[in-house]
């Protein structure tokens, strides 16, 4: 049986960066679920470095969302569980470019970038916050990489705590499947499902935080 072993101990700075990543993961996690469960009644779209991506339900561009999903999951996993630390560093660079590089590209190209969330009736300009958040993210990344390079290796097994956290965050998908597939579009059922998805996305990295068992001492 192959066991997953964390090669780094739990670190507050890394955790803070991963939760930061979790907030941006929301922009992938939510449309992944809604396109799947809502079907053609839900339309996802975004600009991506000059390309226009969109999907009503499970259309070809949905595959791009799945690629983003896999890369995010790899990032969360690599933070603690991948021995080759260069993979983690490269995924961090990808994340920064994917989120902030793309937003800055849109601002330079069109003068602004907007976020639209029809279900919760959220429509906001991101122009004023993108640059400060990009700088904060970049500083966090540099600090994490510098600290990580100095860390000693560890062998911390995937624990019961990790499984419980995964179960708590993933089990509601069954409920979300019902909420998104039933009821009026953008109605109360959709709103409940969206709020659950937001919490899932932000807390998703917590699944991968290693938990070191306390050593038992005998007298």
Is residue 37 one of the residues assigned to a domain?
yes
pLDDT tens-digit profile of 178-217? 888 876 666 788 888 889 999 999 999 999 999 876 543 3
Is residue 114 one of the residues assigned to a domain?
yes
Annotate 59-86 with b (16+ C-beta within 10 A) or e (fewer). eebbebbeebeeebbbbbbbbbbbeebe
Is residue 217 one of the residues assigned to a domain?
no
pLDDT tens-digit profile of 90-132? 999 999 999 999 999 888 887 766 565 555 556 566 677 788 8
Q: Where are the alpha helices (DSSP H) in 151-214?
A: 160-170, 173-181, 188-203
Describe the crossing of helices 173-181 and 188-203 by its angle, rounded to 10 degrees: 150
Give me the pLDDT at residue 52, please: 86
What residue numbers bound the domain in which 124 lies?
5-208
Q: How many structural domains comprise the chain?
A: 1
Give me the pLDDT at residue 38, please: 82
Is residue 82 one of the residues assigned to a domain?
yes
Give me the pLDDT at residue 106, please: 86
Is residue 215 one of the residues assigned to a domain?
no
């Amino acid at each position: 049986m192959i066991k997953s072993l964390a090669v780094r101990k739990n670190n507050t700075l890394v955790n803070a960066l991963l939760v930061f990543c979790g907030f941006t993961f929301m922009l992938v996690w939510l449309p992944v679920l809604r396109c799947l469960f809502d079907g053609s009644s839900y339309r996802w779209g975004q600009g991506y470095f000059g390309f226009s991506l969109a999907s009503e339900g499970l259309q070809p561009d949905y595959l791009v969302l799945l690629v983003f999903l896999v890369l995010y999951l790899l990032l969360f996993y690599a933070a603690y569980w991948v021995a080759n630390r260069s993979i983690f560093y490269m995924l961090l660079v990808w994340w920064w470019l994917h989120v902030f590089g793309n937003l800055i590209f849109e601002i330079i190209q069109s003068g602004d970038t907007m976020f639209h969330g029809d279900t919760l009736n959220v429509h906001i300009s991101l122009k004023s916050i993108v640059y400060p958040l990009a700088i904060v993210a970049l500083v966090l990344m540099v600090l994490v990489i510098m600290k990580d390079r100095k860390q000693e290796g560890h062998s911390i097994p995937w624990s019961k705590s990790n499984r419980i956290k995964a179960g708590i965050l993933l089990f509601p998908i069954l409920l979300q499947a019902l909420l998104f597939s039933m009821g009026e579009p953008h109605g109360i059922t959709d709103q409940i499902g969206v709020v659950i998805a937001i919490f899932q996305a932000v807390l998703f990295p917590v699944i991968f935080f290693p938990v070191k068992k306390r050593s038992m001492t005998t007298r």
